[in-house]
Structure 1
Amino acid sequence: MADPSVLNPHPPEFDQFLQASVGADQNGYAVTVLSTLARLGLDPWRETAELVTLGRDAAPARLGALLARFRDVPALASDHGKVARDLSQLLPEDRASGAPQRAASTVVDGRPGTSGAIWAVIAIMFVLFQMFIVGGSGSGE
């Protein structure tokens, strides 16, 4: 069976955090953490990875600072600290397996673990295609 990370290179450990609501915007629509970070011009997965590496103690402060900059959700103006503390509890933490830390380092490094294999397969397919084209264009004798 194919590795699911090929189609979705983002760590699934971040999904619960990124899909959590930060509140309702001025039109009454729920705004997620993912949407908030993207609207701030940040890469949501990279920022989440950095929050994970900061740990449970420092992550709420960093997230609170980000939420304080976000003006699309009126309720955040007075409550961004509490929302940040609540949301930071959704960050993955599994010290035993280290999976969130590995996922975070993959996102921060910008290199998914399977990208080398994908590029190798693409290169092989390209070489085979070239051999087929060049080999098939003989003089016909």
Structure 2
Amino acid sequence: MTLRPEYSLGHSEYNAFLFAAVGEEAVGLPLTVLTALSRLGIDPWQEAARLSDLPRETAARVFAQTIARLPEGDWKASDAEAIAARLVDSLPLRSAPPIPSTAVRRGGGSIEMNNSRFPTWLAWGAVFVVALVLTLYLQPDRNLESPQGRETTTQR
């Protein structure tokens, strides 16, 4: 499965949000949103997409609750709303539109068309046909020899 462009690290519209620092951990290292969400078991790109679809104030409140679940570093739990508001400002206004499904409807049902497998099956089919033709072509041709003629040459 190919990674959607908005979730790609190199081209993600969520990079500014995901790589922004929440604060500094107790050990002195910066804690990014990406790391914080991953530690909480939340998919960072899906969460960024979900938050970007919400109004800014709502997104900030929701994200503040997420920040409050983190162990405190150089920030206090009471600072979660201010941190969340700062971070949510780096989100795009809306997430990218969903990619349409590849299902093709015929006769009321749906047939899943996986375009990436068709060339593979076509190539394997061609290999099979070539192997079959070569096998038949390389078989010894004994049509001109008679079984009696072969016996008489060996008996002589």
Which TM-score band applies after superposition, normalised by the shorter structure? 0.7 to 0.9
Could you say which structure has the higher helix fraction?
1
The TM-score normalised by the length of structure 1 is 0.73
Q: Give the match for residue 97 of structure 1.
A: none
CA distance in structure 2 between the aligned counterparts of 1:137 and 1:82, rounded to whole angstroms = 69
- SS of aligned partner of 1:140: helix
Residue in structure 2 matched with residue 135 of structure 1 by the alignment: 129
How many pairs were matched up? 121
- Offset of residue 124 of structure 1: 2.6
Inter-CA distance 73–13: structure 2 relative to 1 (3 Å threshold): same
Instruction: Supply the distance in 2 between the matched residues of 1:115 and 1:74 (Cα, whole angstroms).
Output: 45
Q: Is the 8 A contact 2:9 2:15 kept in 1?
A: no
Q: Give 1:39 deviation, angstroms.
A: 0.6
SS for the counterpart of 2:64 is helix
The yes-or-no answer on 1:124 pairing with 2:114 is: no
Give unpaired runs (5+ residues) of structure 2.
Answer: 103-113, 138-156
More strand as a share of residues: 2
> 31-40 or 77-86, which moves further after superposition?
77-86
Gaps of 5+ in 1: 94-99, 107-112
Say whether the 8 Å CA contact 2:6–2:12 is kept in structure 1: no
Rate the CA distance shift 1:13–1:71 in 2: closer, same or farther, 3 A.
same
C-alpha offsets along residues 19-71 of structure 1, whole Å, 9 cap, x if unaligned? 10001112111111111111110011111111111121200100000000011
2:71 partner SS: coil
Residue 92 of structure 1: how far off its partner (Å): 0.8
Relative CO higher for 1 or 2, CA cutoff 8 Å, sep ≥ 6? 1
RMSD, matched Cα: 2.8
The structural deviation recorded for 1:125 is 2.1
